[in-house]
Amino acid sequence: MFRHERPVRFAEVDAARIVYFARYLDFCHDALEALFASLPGGYPHLTMVRGIGIPSVRVEADYLAPLRYGDTALIDVSVERLGGRSITFRHELTRAADGVRCAAVRQVVVVSRLDALASVEMPDDVRALLSAHLSAPT
C-alpha cells in the first residue's frame, strides 16, 4: 500500500461546502502521480518522455462521509490486480483528523502508448514498482 496525504482546497468544495464528488478522482490521480514519483523522472517522464500513460477504462466510487475545505485527505493506494496491460487500483480516502473513511474508489487503467492510444505491455520498471503495492487476495 502507498499513502499520499493531501489538503482539501477551497476550489474543490461545492455549494454544500463539501468536496464535489468528481474531485475525488483528482485526489486519486494526485496519489498515483506521487506513487510513480519513485521512477526516474517520475510520472512526468513516464508520460511526456517515454510516452506511456494509464488512461482509465472503468471507475467505481462509494462516497461514505464528507471531506471539507481545510481537511487533510489520506489516500491509500493499493494494486488489486496487475495484468499484462492493465492495472486495477484501489483508493481508500480517509480524513486525517479523525480517521473516518470518506470514499472508496476502484479504478481500472490500461497501460498505453499515448501517441497511438494503443495498449502496450507493461514496462518492467512499472511492473516492479506496482508489484510492491499488490494487496493480498481476498
Q: How many domains does the chain have?
A: 1
Contacts of 39 (CB under 8 A, 6+ apart): 45, 46, 125, 126, 129
Buried b (16+ CB within 10 A) or exposed e, 36-51: beebeeebeebbeebe
Residue 82 lies in a domain: yes
What is the identity of the amino acid at 50? R
For residue 29, the model assigns a pLDDT of: 97
The domain of 62 spans: 2-131
Averaged pLDDT for residues 66-71: 97
For residue 136, the model assigns a pLDDT of: 76
The domain that holds 53 is classified in CATH as 3.10.129.10
Average pLDDT, the chain: 96
Q: Which pTM does this prediction carry?
A: 0.93
Q: How far is CA 81 from CA 18, 107, 115, in A?
A: 31, 10, 25
Residue 14 lies in a domain: yes
Q: How far apart are CA 27 and CA 35, in angstroms?
A: 12
For residue 137, the model assigns a pLDDT of: 65
Write out pLDDT tens, residues 16-29: 999 999 999 999 99
Residue 137 lies in a domain: no
21 is written with which cell numbers? 464528488
The enclosing H or E element of 45 equals none
Q: How far apart are CA 84 and CA 86, in angstroms?
A: 6
Residue 136 lies in a domain: no
